[in-house]
Amino acid sequence: QLLLVESGGGSVQDGGSLRLSCAASGYTPNRYCMGWFRQLPGKEREGVATIDSYGSTNYADSVKGRFTISQDNVKNTLYLQMDSLKPEDTAMYYCAARVWRLCPTVVEAMSRIDFDYWGQGTQVTVTS
């Protein structure tokens, strides 16, 4: 089993920055994909960014150039640095893990069934 715990959400003004963290515990497979998703009430969960066990990253077009996904393999922690935040970035953010497989090719096309483990989510609110 893999346990994921997010932190770092909060409220920030338009143009501000936040860094989300996702601490992973349990077994660590040699091949995996870690991802960040976000969800608004009543909407589908949408993919934001991914990073795989080789360090390759991919982003949704809506966040490209503003968000950066990274991982610290010593601390078993996934990060999402979010800069130039906009009110439309307001959502619940979730981290997710997909084990023994690499990442889906298109971030925007990812869905819940593509990942095996999920965190509980952390709220990000961007005010104008």
Beta pairing, strands 122-127 & 10-13: parallel
The pLDDT tens digits for 52-81 are 999 999 999 999 999 999 999 999 999 999
Residue 80 is predicted with a pLDDT of 98
Per-residue confidence band for 125, with pLDDT thresholds at 50, 70 and 90: very high
Q: Is a pLDDT exceeding 90 seen at residue 93?
A: yes
The pLDDT tens digits for 24-36 are 999 778 889 999 9
Residue 28 is predicted with a pLDDT of 74
